[in-house]
Structure 1
């Protein structure tokens, strides 16, 4: 069942920035992430859904009804911003109760709803605390709890964890995924952090310069980036110039199947984990420049006739390697794109 439908949405600013012809359907209970660099249009889409921006054209339907004419407070949406937006002079209870009082809920209903939502965000018993007495992560949880209390048909999250440190960000992502699984809420999440998008989304929508480049599952986007932009944006990648002729793509003496049926100059993309190191007379010749141990794996920098490449290898496999060593390299998997 489609919970949110964005149809042909266009919003352009005087600067020329904005979005054009955006079409997105979000299923009930789905967590969809809008991902892309600053200025790509992801926040424009989110704010248009929430009613904080008026589109130039197109329509936005929630549960089958157009919400374009409704102001933000009348829409069945709730927004969690980057800043926590909590009232510092009100304790947690009053911050959470505010929206429910406007909806004319009884005191017993409000008490029960707040108790339930504080359990959900793992902050039970914090009703009497003030925002200033909470850590950044706890404040963000309260902001998420407040949005939940409005029981939105669609929850909108605008880079909600970007102000938190790496460890907390990681915890909050897990927390959000748990909450989403237990509530079945439909969420649209905006981030420029690809790791965040890959870790929490059911589907990712990669945006660039106001357009959608690819819309797919995290696995699909990582394994099969549809465009050169997505390949450059998602995960680490090596880019090498190659030549496509007939049924093969040639990278120096290496040869791969021309699955994309391209001809002429191509850009070959190789993930660092898809580079295998062998004896100097096997594959393409390379010189080890540097070896860095990064936890359970090693990053090996290689100098080749195609330029500098990076390989990720199991930590145990590099113990006999050293800078200056001659090796051979092959690629277990390549992606090819028309050269820009």
Structure 2
């Protein structure tokens, strides 16, 4: 299924039914009086967070959603029937914004959460509503109130504990395949990942966290170059970023340090809060570096990159060094497991986990 994380839709709640002007006229009842009923309420439009959905593709092709109008009131004290509400199911993590006011109406962060996005109009009053001791034959009625009409922007930001970022072909897809149940496309050419992939990492009974793999970033991504800039928003709700770096690039002229600095610069250009998130460096593909050169190459990278945070040395292909990495991630995200997900969480960068740099 094609991944869609943005859509624009029109929603229209139903109008309320009009009230009725009617009088009771029956044989042998000379003083019948007013009996016009009120109109029914128009249908409202609700949005519900559905954990079984992971894309907004349904709203890419179905852009207009209308609720029915309420029935008009009738004589014989009959009120009009209220119209049924309609419910739009959306993925957890969807942000709903009113395009006319540019205000966020709702953020669906909890599975099953239900929010009103367009209210149906109330029904109008029939003439029986205006009966009084001084107005015994009222001929007033009111029309139904109109329902709300809105043009909405839907934006999906996936809910994940950990986000993977790095250059294309850095080994992010191989890493998420090795540690989780995700099965993204893996190939020996850049941009094999075209949309976010989510994987659940099982650490033990009732102990797990979610990892998001995004398309690789390239220099200039914040200005629209490449594919990764389209999905940087999905990193904004993560608790931790893993910066995956290819330590054995195919082209000898490629410098991993320069690539790593370019990624950090793109994060800062895109969103300062994203740059401030806890970020760990994961040096990947060390199985392709000669054993006698590994230690020297790692030390050289850390020195030139001027990195003082956690460093992990792994090979996603052979699974070397993955256990310490998973254990350290769990220790970090476990402290946030029972908190409500934040729109834009900001935390201080943690210190290195004991033994983490040894991979």
What range describes the TM-score normalised by the shorter chain of this pair? under 0.3
Over alpha carbons, which structure has the higher Rg? Answer: 2
Q: Which has the higher helix share?
A: 1
Q: Which has the higher strand share?
A: 1
Q: Give TM-score scaled by structure 2 length.
A: 0.25
Q: Give TM-score scaled by structure 1 length.
A: 0.26
